[in-house]
């Protein structure tokens, strides 16, 4: 099992747990292991993020629900 597959399995199982004490204990364990990661962006990446933010502000985007509907329609037409 790959790390990604294991993460998905763990997330699924945790989402099914309703025991607050257990979730608090699990959270304590995770906080002791998870270290914040600092990422470094290149100048090009920073510029792309700024351009993307400006496009969003200008309304130049499509919402995920709309994209999903378009994709579903496209799949049915195949």
pLDDT in tens, 31-78: 888 777 788 999 999 999 999 999 999 999 999 999 999 999 999 987
Looking at residue 67, its pLDDT comes to 94
Report how far residue 23's alpha carbon sits from residue 9's, in angstroms, rounded to the nearest whole number: 16
pLDDT bin (cut points 50, 70, 90) of residue 12 is very high
Q: Where exactly are the structural domains of the chain? A: 3-33
Looking at residue 17, its pLDDT comes to 95
Other Cβ atoms closer than 10 A to 26:
14
Phi-psi region of 59 (alpha: psi -120 to 50; beta: other; left: phi over 0): left
Looking at residue 37, its pLDDT comes to 73
Report how far residue 49's alpha carbon sits from residue 41's, in angstroms, rounded to the nearest whole number: 10
Report how far residue 9's alpha carbon sits from residue 1's, in angstroms, rounded to the nearest whole number: 10
Above 80 in pLDDT, residue 28? yes
């Amino acid at each position: 099992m790959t790390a990604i597959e294991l993460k998905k399995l763990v997330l699924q199982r945790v989402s099914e747990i309703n025991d607050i004490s257990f979730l608090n204990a699990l959270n304590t364990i995770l906080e002791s292991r998870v270290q914040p990661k600092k990422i470094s962006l290149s100048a090009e990446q920073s510029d792309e993020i700024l351009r993307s933010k400006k496009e969003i502000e200008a309304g130049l985007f499509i919402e995920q629900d709309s994209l999903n509907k378009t994709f579903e329609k496209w799949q049915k037409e195949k």
